[in-house]
Structure formats: structure tokens, C-alpha cells
Amino acid sequence: MTKPIKRRDFMRNSAVAGLTLAGTKSSVLQFPNIMVQSGVKPIVISSANGNKFKNGGDMTAVQKAFTMITQGADVLDAVIAGVNIVELDPLDDSVGYGGLPNADGVVQLDSSCMHGPKKRAGAVAALEGVRTPSLVARAVLESTDHHLLVGKGAQSFARNMGFNIEDDLNTDHSRQLWLEWKRRTDPAHYLDPKARAEVWRREGLKMVEEGLVDREHYYGTINCDGINSKGEICGVTTTSGLAWKIPGRVGDSPILGAGLYVDGAVGAAGSTGRGEANLYNLCSFLIVEEMRRGAHPKDAGMEALKRIKANTIEKRLLNSKGNPNFGINFYILNARGQYAGVTMYPGASFAICNESGPQTLACEALLSGKPND
């Protein structure tokens, strides 16, 4: 017996069929990738820290964002309110207040945000003194004709927009860790710049191995993307960047197409991990374009990881197996509410929140083993 198909179910089933068919070249031509814009189940996806830190409150980032989305808030406002919890929580030393500082002991923050339906974007890089760079990124989106403000200019802009500028965003914890790093690397100041950069990296990673710095926080960031029942998608990425970075170093997080990319009709992708690898390959853009051609979020993410692996050829970045010796993760959501978390090596996780509540799930890995095998 055949049951009558409700319009909503028909659209959902056709969408899934379209996804499967779109795997072949000819079907891409026959079935242009028109995304279903209604009947989507709201969902929020983020890096794992989005379901860990609460800043003394009762909700994690993904819970907060999901709650706001289902209450009808703008999706960008919701995901930013979510990441604000992590930015403000001193316990997450990879984002916002208390983020691990640069080589001079100064916390410099990067953030970007994109609004799918409005097709607008804003970002800040190397911003000092503001605990919530994602809110400054949103102010760039809302109040300027630009997409990216950096350094002192970004700080002046924030001051003019009424943000409180603080002298120092270190916590005792981040300052102690910086002092430890400084103590270990001081003798290295007499090395040539290339050798010094290597020592900085080696000592930093040693502090990770010794458990002084959380592996997730040496590189560490929060990316959070959400979709509401109208199919509206927005995303935000915010970070203190690479621990002990050269002052002024900007990673992938504030760069559109790298740390974040949103196309309201297709989906969103964001990243945590070695920003340089992502900047070189502009993976969030690549992932969204793969989805536009019909790829499932997981397959789109795997394509990006393969691209990174193929373009990583410098010996210092390879392990004994000839594979990348660093971690990188992508968090991906399409306009149908399908999602994936992918990673170079097993061990990374990601967070989601949907009608069943918040969950932390394992990312699918491209390679087996560990970065430093």
C-alpha cells in the first residue's frame, strides 16, 4: 500500500535523492543543486569546545545558539551569543579572554562572521583588548562597507562602537604558561631566525606533550554554524590563534573562505587547527563549493583534507610516514541541515545541538595514526 506523501516529506526525500544523484557529472547538469529552503530541522554545529564551556552559566555555546534559533532569533545573533560564552570563559585558553598570548605575551584575537541570507560578512584580526572579538566582527558586518579590520584600526573601531578596551586580556593561567614558554625559549634568541622559529614551535609542542597546554588549545578556536527552520544559515569563528605566535601573525579564522565560509543557499564550513594549512588551501570555500556541486558535507570535508595533505610537502611539516604532522578539523553544515565534523587524524571531536539536545561526537578522520607518528 502506498501512503500519500506530504509535501514536506516529498521535498525532504527528493532532496536526499538529489544528493545521491548529484554524485555523477551528468546528474549535476540534469539536477542543478537547488537547495530546499523550508522544512529544515534547526541545528547548530561547532568545534568540541562549543559543548564544554559554560562560563559559570547553565548552557554551552551550542545549547545557547540552538535555544535562541528555536525562539526565532536571527541565526547570526544566536551563534555569536553561543561563542560569546566561550570567549568570556577564562577556562578556555584558546578563545577570547584568557586566550594564550603571542610571543610578546599579548593576547591578539581574530574573528569572522557571515550572514547567509543577508550575504554580509565582517571580520577582525590581531585585535587587542576586547574580550569578544566576534561582536566586533559583527559590528564590522553591520556598520561598515568593509569585511576586515586589523590591529590598531580594529581596536579604534571597537572603541568608537562603544566596546570596552582592556589593557591586558591575559588571565593568571595564560600569563603563567607564557612565562614558562619564554623561560624555555629565551636562550634561543641568539639563533638565526629560521632555527629560532623551529625552536619556538618545538618548545610549544613539547609543552603540549607534557600536558601543560591542552592539545586542542595550542591551536584552538571556536567555529559555530547554525540553520533555522527557514533554512537560514549563519556562522562565526573566533580565536586567540596559535599560541606564542609572532606578534601580528594572523591565522585562518578571520579570513573569509578559510576559517569560515557561508553561502546561504548551500551551507557553511569552519575550521580549527593549523591555520596556515587552511589559508594556503582556502578550505572552507572549497568545502562549500564541493557541496554546491552536490557533495555530502562529509565528502566535501574529506576533499579539503586531501587537498591539504597533497599541498603539504615541506619536510618540517611531515611525519615519518610523509603525512602532515599537524591537526586540522572542519565543521560543516548544508542547507538541508546535514552536517559533518572531519579531521586529519582520529581523536578530534565536534559538537551539535538539535531537538534531541547537545551532543559531542567524534570527527571522521582522513588518516589513521597520529600527527607525530
Residues that bind ligand ASP (CB under 6 A): 219-221, 239, 241-242, 251-253, 272-273, 275
CB of 240 to ligand ASP, least distance (A): 8
Q: Which listed residue (60, 132, 185, 221) is catalytic?
A: 221
CB of 95 to ligand ASP, least distance (A): 9
CB of 322 to ligand ASP, least distance (A): 23
CB of 181 to ligand ASP, least distance (A): 16
- Residue 273 or residue 294: which is nearer to ligand ASP going by CB? 273
- Residue 272 or residue 334: which is nearer to ligand ASP going by CB? 272
- Residue 220 or residue 231: which is nearer to ligand ASP going by CB? 220
The answer to whether the beta carbons of residues 351 and 340 sit under 8 Å apart is: no
- Residue 39 or residue 241: which is nearer to ligand ASP going by CB? 241
221 is catalytic: yes
CB of 96 to ligand ASP, least distance (A): 13
- Residue 237 or residue 338: which is nearer to ligand ASP going by CB? 237
d(CA 336, CA 330): 18
The answer to whether the beta carbons of residues 235 and 114 sit under 8 Å apart is: yes
Query: Hey, which residues are catalytic here?
Result: 221
